Amino acid sequence: MDSLTQIALGAAVGTAVLGRRVGPRAALWGAVCGTLPDLDVLVPYGDPVRTFTFHRAESHALFWLTLAAPLLAAGIARIHRVADRAVGVSFHHWWLLTWLALVTHPLLDAFTVYGTQLLLPFSDYPVGLGSVFIIDPLVTLPLLAGLAGAWLLHRRCPRTAERWNQVGLALAALYLGWTVAAQAHVLGHVHRALAATGLADGRVLVTPTPFNTLLWRVVVMDEHAYHEGVYSLFDRDAPRLEPHPTQPTLLAGLQHDWTVRRLAWFSKGFYAVSSGAAVELSRASPRAVAMPRPMERAAAATGDVPDALPIVMADLRMGQTPWFAFSFVVAERRDGAITRAPVRQIPTRRPPPAALAWLWRRIWDENLPPPAYSSSQTRET
């Protein structure tokens, strides 16, 4: 989840454990501990694929966080030792607060589709329920409202302040439960719709579209294509899926390449492979993007196609065609031969603001035609 939600969750957990005894200090330390797991983004892993797939690894593992909790709690207790004696707070209270604030961070992350390696060092399986978009106001706002009520009332009416925070936590938890139930409903509907089609045996991914859990993105994989569409909880008919080609045969000689295997594993098989002309975006920091096929054909006609064409793996779980958050150049095709290449991440292509307006309208109208955007409307970051 986003940083604001994790800070709010940590602060709410801290307030629930020690808010009545130590006041705002509980929220402060809860927020700090709730943020710590994401500091792994500062670790230099060496290349973009390692950075992508080692995020939410050891720093999000319940085992390692449990071991770290008493060490952090000892430091916090030492800082507040004199003040804690006056209110009867011991090291064990700080230990409980620290542990809960730490472990609730990866547990919340596991509701997103990214993949959180909760079970290290016993298993590196990236848990990703995919029932919540990475930013969802209905998770964040109850936590913030509960904290605001607790902050305003903690001196005048401690019990009421405590209830505000508890209600905020309860509402956020209930909403997370709702997302799992809604996802299961959509998944069941999709499987029933596919049962009588040629995609009955395809692997299915169902994730929410941005900022809501009413409109869901559906991806179905088969051998030569991925099929993508959206489904609203208010739709009456089966989702309409549009096929998009993928070329897994381009990786035929790279089955043992670590980068290729790592991306295939981390994406749980939901990836697309393509080849296109490379465009250098920065001389100081060269990055490549896959050129759309019409542009590639035009470049070929004018003789401007580079000698080596990049082979790109795109994680289909995050984003939507043609805007994927994580795509990587993993190899190059030169004179018909495919060879390994330095790993490069393709800059994220963000949809135009009109795309969000379309999503909102699509929730209520299943007959709304899909938008048509030109490549000039997309933004690269």
3-state SS class at 328:
strand
- What are 232's two structure tokens? 């609203």
pLDDT of residue 296: 45
Beta-bridged to residue 229, according to DSSP, are 218
| Residue 294: pLDDT over 50 | no
Q: What is the pLDDT of residues 234-276, one digit of tens each?
A: 999 989 999 999 999 898 888 889 999 999 999 999 999 998 7
- To the nearest 10°, report the CA torsion of 135, 141, 144, 147: -140
CA 113 to mean position of chain CA atoms:
5
Written as one letter, the residue type at 113 is V
Which stretches within 131-210 are classed as H helix? 137-153, 158-194
Angle at 359 between CA 358 and CA 361, to 5 degrees: 65
* Residue 172 Cα distances to 132, 163, 230, 240, 302, angstroms: 12, 14, 25, 32, 56
Q: What is the pLDDT of residues 115-149, one digit of tens each?
A: 999 999 999 999 999 999 999 999 999 999 999 99
pLDDT of residue 157: 85
User: What is the share, in percent, of the chain residues with pLDDT greater than 70?
Assistant: 89
Provide the 10 A C-beta neighbour count for residue 171.
Answer: 17
DSSP-assigned letter for residue 245: E
Separation of alpha carbons 176 and 193, rounded Å = 26
pLDDT of residue 380: 59
Separation of alpha carbons 271 and 268, rounded Å = 8
Asked whether the whole model's pTM tops 0.95, one would answer no
Q: Tell me what the mean pLDDT of segment 335-358 comes to.
A: 85
Residues 10, 146 contacting (CB under 8 angstroms):
no
